[in-house]
């Protein structure tokens, strides 16, 4: 666990991709390029805004994955946690429609967090106490969330209002960068704070050291007195909360309403972002940006009315890029060593 493992190559590649995107975006938007040029379509402010909006749930989902997997719990159920968060946020928002907007939205966020945490706790309980295969437990969460939200969803209910952008003084006045980064609704800012906090937490605190020890070498961690399963329960539940927030973002900040199956594979793409980013918060953020960009470009191309490529093929972009990224990089990344393995203290096994 020496410091070079902190930024391994693939996470740097993912970060570099994000950086290139931002720099090209700035250059394109500052040069007098005509509006109908392909450069404008691919790198215009609106495309980059789309990109950011698509990136946030992916980045949050990836952070949820990192939280769980760093302690050794595989989490393919992010999709289900997100959907549960989205639905809970929606229900709470609808129930408080006549409250002041901000209070009602915050209740929605709280509900999304609680629902996500509950899903995370169930995942931990099944994986640790009942020794369910963790991949199957994740599948269960996806199916449960899909079924329950469809069953309980009342299509007549309408959430009134969503989070509006808050411009950060001074910073939002910077050309291009200000438009993209510093004039956003609150969950977007929160997502960036979570990425930074997770990086600091994982690599510079006692909690992070213990969490990683539980995921890399639980026996050794146990020997020095770390309660492995406590950290696994804690981080999986926290991960669920973060995934729930991603769902809350979709309902309370991006779309404003709930739709059945609205996560549309975002949970899985964030899983790919986590792998591509090598289980590093910033690496995963970079990868999430790349995937988010494919969605941004998809939207931009559709809006620009590019009709010679059928829209179905344009919509395949994010999924194709995910496969390519996972196929191209998975051999070069290293998951936490004890991932997916049940940990039993000596003598506690049946």
Partner 1 sequence: MGHFSLRRLFRSLLIPVLAVLTALVVGAIIMWLAGDNPIAAYKGLFQGAFGSARGWATTIRKWSPLLLTGLSVAVAFQAGLFNIGASGQFMMGTIFSVWVGINFADMPAIIHVPLAISAGILGGLLWGSIPGILKVTTGAHEVITTIMLNYIAALFAGWTVYAGGSQGQKPGPLWDPAAKAISQTPPVVESARIPFIFGPPYRVHWGIALAIITIFVMAWLIYKTTIGFELRTVGQNFKASKYAGIRVGWTIILAMMLAGALAGMAGAIETLGVNFKFAPEFGGSVGFDGITVALLGQTNPFGVGLAAFFLASLAAGGAKMQFDSGVSSDIIQVINALLLAFVAAPAIIRYIYRIRKSPEEKETTPKISWGGG
Residues lying near partner 1 in the complex (CB under 8 A) are found at: 74, 76, 126, 129-137, 139-140, 142-144, 146-148, 150-152, 264-265, 268, 271-272, 275, 305, 307, 310-313, 315-316, 319-320, 322-323, 326-328, 330-331, 334-335, 339-340, 350
Rounded distance, CA 150 to CA 315, Å? 24
Q: What one-character DSSP code corresponds to residue 251?
A: I
Rounded distance, CA 116 to CA 282, Å? 22
Residue 62 or 180: the one with the smaller Cβ distance to partner 1 is 62
Q: What one-character DSSP code corresponds to residue 235?
A: H
Residue 250 or 338: the one with the smaller Cβ distance to partner 1 is 338
Cβ pair 245, 62 in contact under 8 A: no
CB of 72 to partner 1, least distance (A): 11
CB of 267 to partner 1, least distance (A): 9
What are the φ and ψ backbone dihedral angles of 339, each rounded to 5 degrees?
Answer: -65, 135
Residue 170 or 308: the one with the smaller Cβ distance to partner 1 is 308
What are the φ and ψ backbone dihedral angles of 225, each rounded to 5 degrees?
Answer: 95, 15
Q: What one-character DSSP code corresponds to residue 174?
A: S
Residue 200 or 320: the one with the smaller Cβ distance to partner 1 is 320
Residue 113 makes CB contacts below 8 A (sequence gap 6+) with 85, 241, 244, 245, 248
Residue 175 or 265: the one with the smaller Cβ distance to partner 1 is 265
10, 102, 121, 284, 332 from 17: Cα distances, Å: 11, 36, 35, 11, 17
CB of 247 to partner 1, least distance (A): 18
Residue 152 makes CB contacts below 8 A (sequence gap 6+) with 87, 91
Q: Hey, which bits of the chain come out as E strands?
A: 166-167, 183-184
Residue indicated by tokens 């929606």: 90
CB of 100 to partner 1, least distance (A): 29
Residue 74 or 105: the one with the smaller Cβ distance to partner 1 is 74
* Secondary structure (DSSP) of 17-46: HHHHHHHHHHHHHHS---TTSHHHHHHSHH
CB of 214 to partner 1, least distance (A): 16
Rounded distance, CA 338 to CA 6, Å? 18
3-state secondary structure of 111: helix
Rounded distance, CA 20 to CA 99, Å? 44
CB of 107 to partner 1, least distance (A): 21
Residue 222 or 339: the one with the smaller Cβ distance to partner 1 is 339
Residue 91 or 252: the one with the smaller Cβ distance to partner 1 is 91
- 312, two tokens: 């179905």
CB of 51 to partner 1, least distance (A): 19
CB of 25 to partner 1, least distance (A): 26
Residue 28 or 74: the one with the smaller Cβ distance to partner 1 is 74
CB of 308 to partner 1, least distance (A): 8
Question: How many residues belong to the chain?
Answer: 350
Residue 21 or 74: the one with the smaller Cβ distance to partner 1 is 74
Residue indicated by tokens 């946020």: 89
CB of 237 to partner 1, least distance (A): 18
Cβ pair 8, 280 in contact under 8 A: yes
């Amino acid at each position: 666990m020496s410091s070079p493992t902190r930024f391994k190559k693939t996470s740097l590649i993912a970060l570099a991709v994000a950086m290139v995107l931002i720099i090209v975006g700035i250059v394109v938007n500052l040069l007098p390029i005509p509006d109908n040029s392909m450069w404008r379509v691919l790198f215009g402010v609106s495309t980059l805004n789309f990109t950011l909006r698509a990136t946030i749930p992916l980045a949050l989902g990836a952070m949820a994955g990192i939280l769980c997997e760093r302690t050794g719990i595989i989490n393919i159920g992010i999709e289900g946690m997100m959907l549960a968060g989205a639905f809970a946020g929606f229900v709470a928002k609808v129930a408080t429609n006549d409250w002041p907007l901000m209070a009602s939205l915050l209740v929605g966020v709280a509900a999304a967090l609680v629902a996500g945490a509950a899903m995370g706790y169930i995942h931990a309980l099944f994986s640790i106490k009942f020794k369910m295969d963790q991949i199957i437990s994740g599948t269960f969460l996806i199916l449960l969330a899909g079924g329950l939200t469809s069953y309980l969803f009342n299509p007549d209910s309408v959430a009134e209002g969503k989070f509006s952008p808050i411009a950060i003084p001074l910073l939002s006045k910077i050309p291009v960068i200000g438009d993209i980064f510093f004039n956003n609704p609150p969950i977007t800012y929160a997502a960036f704070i979570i990425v930074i906090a997770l990086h600091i937490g994982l690599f510079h605190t006692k909690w992070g050291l213990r969490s990683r020890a539980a995921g890399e070498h639980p026996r050794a961690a146990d020997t020095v007195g770390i309660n492995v399963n406590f950290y696994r329960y804690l981080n999986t539940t926290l991960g669920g909360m973060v995934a729930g927030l991603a769902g809350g973002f979709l309902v309370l900040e991006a779309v404003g309403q709930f739709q059945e199956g609205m996560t549309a594979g975002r949970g899985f793409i964030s899983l790919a972002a986590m792998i591509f980013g090598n289980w590093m918060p910033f690496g995963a953020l970079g990868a999430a940006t790349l995937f988010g960009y494919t969605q941004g470009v998809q939207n931009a191309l559709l809006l620009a009315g590019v009709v010679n490529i059928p829209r179905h093929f344009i919509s395949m972009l994010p999924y194709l890029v995910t496969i390519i990224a996972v196929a191209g990089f998975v051999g070069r990344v290293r998951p936490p060593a004890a991932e997916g393995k049940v940990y039993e203290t000596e003598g506690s096994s049946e």
